[in-house]
Copies of this chain bind each other. A is one copy, B any other.
Amino acid sequence: MLSALDIARRLDAGTLSVDALYDEIAATVADREAEIEAFVSVDIEAARAAAHSTYGPFAGMPIGVKDNIDTGDRITAYGSPIHAQNRPAVDAAIVALARRAGACLLGKTVTTEFAFFSPGPTRNPHNFDHTPGGSSSGSAAGVAAGFFPLALGTQTGGSVVRPAAFCGIAGFKPSFGRLPTVGVKIFSWSLDTVGVFAKGIADVAFAAGVLADRDWRVDGEVPTPPRLGFVEPQPWAQADDEMSVALERVRRAADRAGAATASVSLPPVFREAFAAHQTIQDYEATRALAAEVDLAPDKLSAVLRQTLDEGAAISATAYDDAQRTAEQARRAFSDILSKVDVLVTPSAPGAAPIGLASTGSSVFNRVWTLMGAPAANVPGLQSFAGLPLGVQTVGAYAADRRTLKAAHWLEECLRAQASDS
Contact = CB atoms under 8 A, between A and B. Distances in A.
Contacts of A292: 90
A316 B214 contact: yes
Given A294-B100, A295-B72, A316 B212 contact: yes
B182 A316 contact: no
Contacts of A189: 177, 180-182
A286 to B, nearest CB: 10
Contacts of A289: 93
Nearest to A284: B180
Interface in A169-189: 177, 180-183, 186, 189
Nearest to A179: B287
A97 interface: yes
Nearest to A211: B287
A288 B180 contact: yes
A240 B180 CA distance: 38
A1 B291 CA distance: 30
A204 B420 CA distance: 69
A72 B290 CA distance: 12
Contacts of A284: 180
Contacts of A295: 72, 90-91
B212 A320 contact: no
A284 B213 CA distance: 12
A213 B316 contact: yes
A398 interface: yes
Contact of A186 (B89, B97, B100, B182): B182
Contacts of A93: 287-291
Interface residues of A, number: 38
A181 B86 CA distance: 20
Contacts of A90: 82-83, 291-292, 295
B316 A96 contact: no
Task: Report how many copies the assembly holds.
Answer: 2
Most buried by B among A82, A99, A212, A291: A291
Nearest to A78: B89
A96 B99 CA distance: 33
Interface string A212-250: 111000000000000000000000000000000000000
A71 to B, nearest CB: 10
A96 B294 CA distance: 8
A190 interface: yes
A288 B182 contact: yes
A95 interface: yes
A92 interface: yes
A105 to B, nearest CB: 13
A190 B289 CA distance: 21
A421 to B, nearest CB: 41
Interface in A89-133: 89-93, 95-97, 99-100
Given A177-B189, A181-B189, A291 B91 contact: yes
Contact of A320 (B86, B291, B398): B398
Interface string A296-337: 000000000000000000001000100000000000000000
A173 B269 CA distance: 32
Nearest to A92: B291
Interface of A: 72, 82-83, 86, 89-93, 95-97, 99-100, 177, 180-183, 186, 189-190, 212-214, 284, 287-295, 316, 320, 398
12 contacts: A83-B90, A86-B89, A90-B291, A90-B295, A92-B291, A93-B289, A95-B291, A100-B290, A177-B190, A180-B189, A182-B287, A320-B398
Given A92-B291, A93-B290, 20 more contacts: A72-B291, A72-B295, A83-B90, A90-B292, A90-B295, A91-B295, A93-B288, A93-B291, A95-B291, A97-B287, A97-B290, A177-B190, A181-B189, A182-B189, A182-B287, A182-B288, A183-B291, A212-B316, A213-B316, A214-B316
Which 6 pairs across A and B sit closest by C-beta, in order of nearness?
Answer: A96-B290, A96-B291, A90-B291, A91-B291, A182-B288, A86-B89
